[in-house]
Structure 1
Amino acid sequence: MRNKILILDDDEDILYFCSVVFENLDFEVVSSPHSKDILEQVENAMPDIILIDNWIPGLGGVKATQTLKSTPSLSEIPVILFSANSNLPTLAEEAGADSYLKKPFDLDELENLALSLLRNKA
């Protein structure tokens, strides 16, 4: 069965490049430019992993991640918070994210991090 990723970012270029990376890994890709209805989006997609921008419109990455991690049925889905923010490690810890990735990032780094989290989840 194919893995599924939910990518939340309002930057169309980042959505495109991340989608291409994961489609090449045979992932089913679902994306969104906002986090307004984060629980509904995740429940509808039921992804294996989530990649969320810290500055995503709506709740924002930290609050959206906290919401997911406090929802028992969704809390085990690995979340990668990504941002150009200089205090990203602190934000990721505050959010309860499983990992973080500093923008700009190397696509191989993104791929390796996501696959590593999925292996650890299994």
Structure 2
Amino acid sequence: MKKKVLIFDDDVNILELCSIILTECGYEVATSETSHDIIEKVSEMHPDAILMDNWIPDIGGIEATQMLKRDERFKNIPVIYFSANNDIKSLAEKAGADAYLAKPFDLDELENLIKTLI
């Protein structure tokens, strides 16, 4: 059975690029440009990993990640925080993410990070 990755980012180009790369790696990929219904989206897909952008509308990556980590059903799903912020490490820690990836990122680094966490 294919592993599933759910990507939250408001940049359509990043969603498309990540979807193509991860699909080619054999993952089932779903995307979202907003985070206001994050619990519903995660409930529907049951992803094996989540990529979370810092600037995702409507509630932002930090709050969205914290909501997931507080929920007993989803707290063990690895969240990779990704952003172009200089302080990505501290943002990821504040959010409670399992890992982080600075934008722009190397595609091999993205693949390897997901493989490591799943």
| TM-score, scaled relative to structure 1 | 0.95
What SS does the corresponding residue of 2:13 show, helix, strand or coil? helix
Structure-2 residue corresponding to 1:10? 10
> What 5-or-longer segments of structure 1 have no aligned partner?
none
**Distance in structure 2 (CA, Å) of the matches to 1:87 and 1:10:** 19
**1:38-53 correspondence to structure 2 within 5 Å:** 38-53=38-53
**2:110 corresponds to 1:110:** yes
What SS does the corresponding residue of 1:36 show, helix, strand or coil? coil
Structure-2 residue corresponding to 1:27? 27
Runs of 4+ that moved beyond 2 A: none
Deviation at 1:98, TM superposition (A): 0.2
Deviation at 1:32, TM superposition (A): 0.5
RMSD: 0.6
AA partner of residue 9 (structure 2): D
AA partner of residue 95 (structure 1): A
What SS does the corresponding residue of 2:31 show, helix, strand or coil? strand
Of all paired residues, the percent bearing the same amino acid is 54
Structure-1 residue corresponding to 2:85? 85
What SS does the corresponding residue of 1:81 show, helix, strand or coil? strand
What SS does the corresponding residue of 2:58 show, helix, strand or coil? coil
| TM-score, scaled relative to structure 2 | 0.98
Deviation at 1:43, TM superposition (A): 0.5
**Distance in structure 1 (CA, Å) of the matches to 2:83 and 2:93:** 13
Structure-2 residue corresponding to 1:98? 98
**Distance in structure 2 (CA, Å) of the matches to 1:53 and 1:45:** 18
Deviation at 1:45, TM superposition (A): 1.1
AA partner of residue 37 (structure 2): D
**2:51 corresponds to 1:54:** no
What SS does the corresponding residue of 1:5 show, helix, strand or coil? strand
